[in-house]
Protein backbone atom coordinates (compact mmCIF):
# COMPACT_ATOMS: atom_id res chain seq x y z
CA UNK A 1 0.00 0.00 0.00
CA UNK A 2 1.18 3.55 -0.69
CA UNK A 3 0.09 6.58 1.30
CA UNK A 4 0.49 9.93 -0.41
CA UNK A 5 0.36 12.93 1.94
CA UNK A 6 0.03 15.88 -0.38
CA UNK A 7 -0.90 19.56 -0.39
CA UNK A 8 0.29 22.95 -1.52
CA UNK A 9 3.30 24.67 0.04
CA UNK A 10 2.84 25.67 3.66
CA UNK A 11 0.32 22.97 4.53
CA UNK A 12 2.74 21.06 6.80
CA UNK A 13 3.86 18.16 4.61
CA UNK A 14 7.63 18.36 5.04
CA UNK A 15 7.36 19.29 8.71
CA UNK A 16 5.42 16.11 9.52
CA UNK A 17 7.83 13.69 7.78
CA UNK A 18 10.10 13.05 10.82
CA UNK A 19 7.06 12.39 13.02
CA UNK A 20 5.59 9.95 10.50
CA UNK A 21 8.89 8.09 10.28
CA UNK A 22 8.92 7.80 14.08
CA UNK A 23 5.26 6.74 14.25
CA UNK A 24 5.66 4.06 11.56
CA UNK A 25 9.24 2.74 11.72
CA UNK A 26 8.37 -0.32 9.61
CA UNK A 27 7.05 1.82 6.76
CA UNK A 28 9.30 3.51 4.26
CA UNK A 29 8.45 7.24 4.49
CA UNK A 30 10.00 9.39 1.77
CA UNK A 31 9.99 12.98 0.54
CA UNK A 32 8.39 13.32 -2.92
CA UNK A 33 11.11 15.80 -3.98
CA UNK A 34 14.11 13.81 -2.75
CA UNK A 35 15.27 12.95 -6.27
CA UNK A 36 15.52 16.68 -6.99
CA UNK A 37 13.28 19.27 -8.60
CA UNK A 38 14.57 20.71 -11.87
CA UNK A 39 14.57 24.44 -12.44
CA UNK A 40 12.71 25.42 -14.43
CA UNK A 41 10.38 22.55 -13.63
CA UNK A 42 8.88 20.93 -16.76
CA UNK A 43 5.16 20.16 -16.85
CA UNK A 44 5.76 16.41 -16.91
CA UNK A 45 8.08 16.30 -13.88
CA UNK A 46 5.40 15.75 -11.19
CA UNK A 47 3.52 12.91 -12.95
CA UNK A 48 6.78 11.19 -13.93
CA UNK A 49 8.02 11.48 -10.35
CA UNK A 50 4.68 10.11 -9.12
CA UNK A 51 5.13 7.11 -11.41
CA UNK A 52 8.60 6.57 -9.99
CA UNK A 53 7.14 6.50 -6.45
CA UNK A 54 4.47 4.03 -7.50
CA UNK A 55 7.17 1.74 -8.88
CA UNK A 56 9.09 2.00 -5.61
CA UNK A 57 5.89 1.24 -3.68
CA UNK A 58 5.33 -1.84 -5.83
CA UNK A 59 8.87 -3.06 -5.08
CA UNK A 60 8.23 -2.46 -1.36
CA UNK A 61 4.90 -4.28 -1.61
CA UNK A 62 6.71 -7.35 -2.96
CA UNK A 63 8.90 -7.20 0.16
CA UNK A 64 5.83 -6.82 2.40
CA UNK A 65 6.44 -3.17 3.24
CA UNK A 66 4.10 -0.17 2.93
CA UNK A 67 5.32 3.14 1.54
CA UNK A 68 4.52 6.71 2.53
CA UNK A 69 5.35 9.66 0.30
CA UNK A 70 5.04 13.23 1.54
CA UNK A 71 4.93 15.93 -1.11
CA UNK A 72 3.31 17.33 -4.19
CA UNK A 73 1.48 14.37 -5.73
CA UNK A 74 -2.01 14.99 -7.17
CA UNK A 75 -4.86 12.45 -6.96
CA UNK A 76 -5.76 12.53 -10.67
CA UNK A 77 -2.14 12.11 -11.72
CA UNK A 78 -1.61 9.28 -9.24
CA UNK A 79 -4.56 7.31 -10.61
CA UNK A 80 -3.51 7.91 -14.23
CA UNK A 81 0.06 6.66 -13.81
CA UNK A 82 0.88 3.40 -15.59
CA UNK A 83 1.78 1.59 -12.34
CA UNK A 84 -1.26 2.75 -10.35
CA UNK A 85 -3.24 -0.53 -10.69
CA UNK A 86 -0.37 -2.50 -9.14
CA UNK A 87 -0.55 -0.82 -5.71
CA UNK A 88 -3.30 0.07 -3.23
CA UNK A 89 -3.32 3.86 -3.17
CA UNK A 90 -4.42 6.14 -0.34
CA UNK A 91 -4.27 9.93 -0.53
CA UNK A 92 -4.56 12.63 2.12
CA UNK A 93 -4.55 16.34 1.29
CA UNK A 94 -3.11 18.62 3.96
CA UNK A 95 -4.73 22.03 3.68
CA UNK A 96 -4.89 25.25 5.67
CA UNK A 97 -6.40 28.71 5.49
CA UNK A 98 -4.68 30.97 3.00
CA UNK A 99 -3.49 33.59 5.51
CA UNK A 100 -1.95 30.85 7.65
CA UNK A 101 -0.28 29.38 4.54
CA UNK A 102 1.24 32.76 3.68
CA UNK A 103 2.42 33.26 7.27
CA UNK A 104 4.07 29.82 7.29
CA UNK A 105 5.82 30.44 3.97
CA UNK A 106 7.06 33.87 5.10
CA UNK A 107 8.28 32.43 8.41
CA UNK A 108 10.20 29.73 6.55
CA UNK A 109 11.75 32.41 4.38
CA UNK A 110 11.03 30.41 1.24
CA UNK A 111 9.64 31.45 -2.07
CA UNK A 112 6.01 30.76 -2.81
CA UNK A 113 4.01 33.30 -0.83
CA UNK A 114 2.20 34.33 -4.01
CA UNK A 115 -1.27 34.49 -5.51
CA UNK A 116 -0.23 31.66 -7.81
CA UNK A 117 0.42 29.44 -4.77
CA UNK A 118 -2.95 30.36 -3.26
CA UNK A 119 -4.65 29.54 -6.56
CA UNK A 120 -2.84 26.18 -6.69
CA UNK A 121 -3.97 25.41 -3.12
CA UNK A 122 -7.55 26.33 -4.03
CA UNK A 123 -7.45 24.06 -7.10
CA UNK A 124 -6.16 21.16 -4.98
CA UNK A 125 -8.88 21.78 -2.39
CA UNK A 126 -11.63 21.38 -5.00
CA UNK A 127 -9.85 18.55 -6.87
CA UNK A 128 -9.77 16.57 -3.60
CA UNK A 129 -13.57 16.34 -3.56
CA UNK A 130 -14.57 16.75 -7.23
CA UNK A 131 -12.74 14.83 -9.98
CA UNK A 132 -14.59 16.88 -12.61
CA UNK A 133 -13.06 20.20 -11.47
CA UNK A 134 -10.74 21.72 -14.09
CA UNK A 135 -9.25 18.47 -15.33
CA UNK A 136 -7.35 20.49 -17.94
CA UNK A 137 -4.97 21.64 -15.19
CA UNK A 138 -3.35 18.18 -15.07
CA UNK A 139 -4.64 16.13 -18.02
CA UNK A 140 -2.11 16.99 -20.69
CA UNK A 141 -1.87 15.28 -24.05
CA UNK A 142 1.93 15.16 -24.25
CA UNK A 143 2.03 12.57 -21.45
CA UNK A 144 0.97 9.67 -23.66
CA UNK A 145 1.63 7.01 -21.03
CA UNK A 146 -0.85 8.55 -18.61
CA UNK A 147 -4.25 6.85 -18.53
CA UNK A 148 -6.55 9.74 -17.63
CA UNK A 149 -9.61 7.76 -18.70
CA UNK A 150 -9.30 5.68 -15.52
CA UNK A 151 -11.03 8.47 -13.61
CA UNK A 152 -12.04 11.44 -15.79
CA UNK A 153 -15.67 10.28 -16.04
CA UNK A 154 -16.02 9.95 -12.25
CA UNK A 155 -18.30 12.44 -10.51
CA UNK A 156 -18.24 14.00 -7.06
CA UNK A 157 -19.26 11.39 -4.51
CA UNK A 158 -17.87 8.44 -6.46
CA UNK A 159 -16.56 6.02 -3.79
CA UNK A 160 -13.42 5.33 -5.85
CA UNK A 161 -12.35 9.00 -5.49
CA UNK A 162 -11.07 8.90 -1.93
CA UNK A 163 -9.03 11.80 -0.68
CA UNK A 164 -8.90 12.49 3.03
CA UNK A 165 -8.70 16.24 3.63
CA UNK A 166 -6.88 17.21 6.82
CA UNK A 167 -7.09 20.89 7.77
CA UNK A 168 -3.84 21.87 9.50
CA UNK A 169 -4.79 25.50 10.16
CA UNK A 170 -5.21 25.23 13.93
CA UNK A 171 -2.79 22.39 14.71
CA UNK A 172 0.86 22.06 15.58
CA UNK A 173 2.95 19.49 13.75
CA UNK A 174 2.58 16.86 16.50
CA UNK A 175 -1.21 17.10 16.17
CA UNK A 176 -0.99 16.89 12.37
CA UNK A 177 1.18 13.77 12.64
CA UNK A 178 -1.38 12.21 15.01
CA UNK A 179 -4.21 12.93 12.54
CA UNK A 180 -2.26 11.45 9.65
CA UNK A 181 -1.28 8.43 11.76
CA UNK A 182 -4.94 7.82 12.67
CA UNK A 183 -5.86 7.97 9.00
CA UNK A 184 -3.06 5.55 8.01
CA UNK A 185 -4.05 3.06 10.72
CA UNK A 186 -7.73 3.24 9.74
CA UNK A 187 -6.89 2.67 6.07
CA UNK A 188 -4.68 -0.30 6.93
CA UNK A 189 -7.48 -1.84 9.04
CA UNK A 190 -10.05 -1.26 6.28
CA UNK A 191 -7.87 -2.92 3.63
CA UNK A 192 -7.47 -6.20 5.53
The CATH number of the domain where 88 resides is what? 3.40.50.300
Half-sphere exposure of 76 (CA within 13 A, CB side): 25
Phi, psi at 25, each rounded to 5°: -65, -20
- Which of 47-56, 109-118, 151-160 comes out lowest in average pLDDT? 109-118
Q: d(Cα 52, Cα 55) in Å, to the nearest integer? A: 5
Number of domains in the chain: 1
- Which of 60-69, 76-85, 113-122, 180-189 comes out lowest in average pLDDT? 113-122
95 vs 41, higher pLDDT:
95
Q: What percent of the chain has pLDDT over 90?
A: 84
Element (H, E) at 40: none
For residue 141, is pLDDT > 70?
A: no
Range of the domain at 39: 2-191
**Residue 143 pLDDT level (bands cut at 50, 70, 90):** confident
Phi, psi at 190, each rounded to 5°: -70, -20
Predicted pLDDT of residue 106: 87
Amino acid sequence: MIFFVTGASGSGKSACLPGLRAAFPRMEWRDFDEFGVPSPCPHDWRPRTTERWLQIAFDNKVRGQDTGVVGGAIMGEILACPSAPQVEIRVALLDCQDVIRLDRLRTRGTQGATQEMLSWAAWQRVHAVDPQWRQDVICVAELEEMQWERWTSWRRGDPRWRVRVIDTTEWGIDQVVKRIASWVLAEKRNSQ
